Amino acid sequence: MAFDPLAFLETAVETPSHEDVDPMRALLCDRLAAHGIEPTVDGAGNVLASKDAADGPHVVLNTHLDTVAPHVPAEREGDVLHGRGACDAKGPLAAMVAAFLDCDPDWGRLTLAVTSDEETYSTGAAALVPRLDLDGERGDAVIVGEPTGLDVCTAGKGRFEGTVRVEGESAHAAEPHTGANAIERAAPVIDALTDFGERPGSLPVHPDLGAATLTPTVIEGGDATNQVPAACEVVVDRRSVPPETAGGFENALDEYLRERLDSTISFALTERETPFLAAFETSVDSRVVGAFRDAECEMRPFTAATEASYFAREVPTVVFGPGDLADAEGPVAHADREYVRRPEVERAADRLNDVLAELLRENHV
């Protein structure tokens, strides 16, 4: 029986995967096995399946099992399927599984690699990338499944996170002048963050991704309502553009705040076990981009951070899939109204078929 991506998609959206991906992983493995593919699950919880032919390029189809909370049950309305994960990223997964099962490479290797932890710390992708034996000289490529409206995205911003810490001195609120109010000291920090992108030596505007952004997202300070706060913390979200690295950003912002304000103010990145998702860009001259152009896909940048960041360090990487991050009415992915159009999932599978046929064709020049 042929694989039905729409039936798989509906079952996948009905399967909660915001807290525990085990049921979703079992569903994927079961469907692959039912179509003659014996997948493996590695130590990081990633699902892997491969088709090998003669020596040639290694092409990887990658997306993720997990979704954000809360679970939103599947509900079909005509050709539109609503529910958590409909476009992020179970719609792309359904299209990729269909293309993987249909592909019969006569050159190279095709791997389906579905990660387990994309929405939090990317532990699955961080463990996976070193094991994939990716080699840019061999012509390898990675296609990352995310909602792009069937455009091929050749660049994407990165995401870093950290905390500005403001030091003060505690005192009784009845005698505020005897202390140093850290919350009051935080006020000029917000102004300074706004001006960070305008400082001398700041990153130039990227031709495709635009300017890097720096946004304060959380502020915490104080222990009691009748006490001058001794400390205040401001969490910031950085959406980076090439060639900025996490370490370079950390050093630049810490130095900038200390110089503009004073030494009681410092910045440090949030500690995490896996690397931050840095910005990436793939040459429009790469074979994988050319294959998507031949499949009549429009090129553009992706506006959110993805695990494409990890793969792009090794080989040309693009982002592609059905669905949209947002539409004219507002957010779609991660929103209660998340949806994907069923015909778009089928078109995504067809375009992936065309791309894979081109990349894994033996006489490709």
Q: Tokens representing 87? A: 């476009």
Round to whole Å and give the CA distance between 346 and 106: 24
B/e letters for 21-55, b = 16+ CB within 10 Å, e = fewer, are beebbebbbebbeeeebebeeeeebbbbbebeeee
Cβ 173 vs Cβ 227: under 8 Å = yes
**Helix, strand or coil for residue 39?**
coil
Catalytic residue selected from 66, 140, 307, 324: 66
Round to whole Å and give the CA distance between 302 and 305: 8
B/e letters for 91-116, b = 16+ CB within 10 Å, e = fewer, are bbbbbbbbbbbebebeebbbbbbbbb
Q: Tokens representing 167? A: 């030091």
Catalytic residue selected from 118, 244, 324, 344: 118
Examine the residue annotation and report whether 118 is marked as an active-site residue of this protein.
Answer: yes
Angle of the 342-359 helix axis to the 287-294 helix axis, nearest 10:
130
Examine the residue annotation and report whether 66 is marked as an active-site residue of this protein.
Answer: yes
User: For residue 159, what are the CA distances in angstroms to 99, 270, 300, 307, 309?
Assistant: 30, 12, 19, 11, 10
Report, as residue numbers or ranges, the catalytic residues: 66, 118
